[in-house]
């Protein structure tokens, strides 16, 4: 999953980035509103954590610009301000959740994961695709009750496909959401990653729709 953190505080921003990375996210950081608006407008994110008190362009204006340009990824507002009227204004502008500073990092990660699940139509932290189960909180998976030994990239791939089950996900989209800036990700890398994952969960569970992408199904192993 790919997240955008928008925070100008020199301590909070990097702390949130590190926490999300430890939770298995690919993370970009923007330190001002103009940079945030541009990144959110041209990149494809699964979630954004948006501070309100930003230099150059305030957070609410960023959010309104995103929504005005039909950017529909979930947004969690992060702000030191506790005024309920501002919270309402943020929700009305298109935010999906609101966390006031100071906050517990564990709560923030839990809320971020919940936003992504709800956007994909899932309520629980464990996603089930047939007899395959993916625990998004523990970053683990099991098949017919037997734990799977997955690399971090293999889990990222399985997790992303499970959030988009029965949809053909293009290799380019997978590369954007699985690899960080320092990792090499292209269609060949994705193909090899899919091959490795198929060996562990069964070849029929990930179908290749030529010209469209990869589909996770509940097919027999």
What pLDDT, in 10s, does the model give residues 73-114? 999 998 876 666 777 888 888 999 999 888 999 999 999 999
Residue 88's pLDDT is: 80
Helix or strand (DSSP H, E) at 146: strand 146-147
What's the first-to-final CA gap in the chain, in angstroms? 26
The least confident of 44-53, 162-171, 178-187, 206-215 is 178-187
Res. 181: pLDDT tops 70: no
Residues 6+ apart with CB under 8 A from 6: 29, 30, 31, 33, 36, 48, 49, 50, 51, 54, 59, 62
**Collapsed DSSP state (helix, strand, coil) of residue 68:** helix
Res. 40: pLDDT tops 90: yes
Domains of the chain: 2-119 (3.40.50.2300), 126-216 (1.10.10.10)
For residue 197, the tally of other CB atoms under 10 A from its CB is 24
Mean pLDDT of 14-38: 96
pTM for the model: 0.85
Mean pLDDT of 123-129: 87
The Cα-based distances of 36 to 61, 65, 107, 204, 207 in angstroms read 11, 10, 23, 40, 36
Residue 79's pLDDT is: 80
Model pLDDT for residues 72-82, shown as the tens digit of each residue: 999 999 887 66
Res. 220: pLDDT tops 60: no
Confidence of residue 221 (pLDDT cuts 50, 70, 90): very low
Residue 83's pLDDT is: 66
Residue 85's pLDDT is: 74
């Amino acid at each position: 999953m790919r997240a955008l953190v928008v925070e100008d505080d020199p301590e909070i921003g990097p702390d949130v980035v590190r926490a999300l990375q430890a939770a298995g996210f690919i993370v970009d950081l923007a330190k001002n509103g103009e940079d945030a608006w541009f990144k959110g407008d041209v990149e494809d994110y699964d979630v954004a954590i948006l501070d309100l008190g930003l230099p150059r362009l305030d957070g609410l204006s960023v959010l309104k610009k995103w929504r005005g340009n039909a950017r529909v990824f979930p947004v969690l507002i992060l702000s030191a301000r506790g005024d309920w009227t501002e919270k309402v204004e943020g929700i009305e502008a298109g935010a999906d959740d609101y966390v006031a500073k100071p906050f517990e990092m564990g709560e923030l990660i839990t809320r971020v994961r919940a936003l992504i699940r709800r956007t994909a139509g899932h309520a629980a932290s464990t996603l089930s695709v047939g007899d395959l189960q993916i625990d998004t909180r523990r970053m683990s998976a099991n098949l017919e009750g037997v734990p799977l030994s997955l690399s971090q990239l293999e889990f990222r791939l399985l997790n992303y496909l499970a959030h988009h089950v029965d949809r053909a996900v293009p290799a380019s989209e997978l590369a954007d959401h699985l690899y960080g800036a320092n990792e090499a990700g292209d269609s060949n890398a994705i193909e090899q990653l899919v091959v490795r994952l198929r060996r562990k969960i069964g070849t029929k569970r990930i179908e290749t729709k030529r010209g469209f992408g990869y589909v996770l199904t509940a097919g027999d192993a």
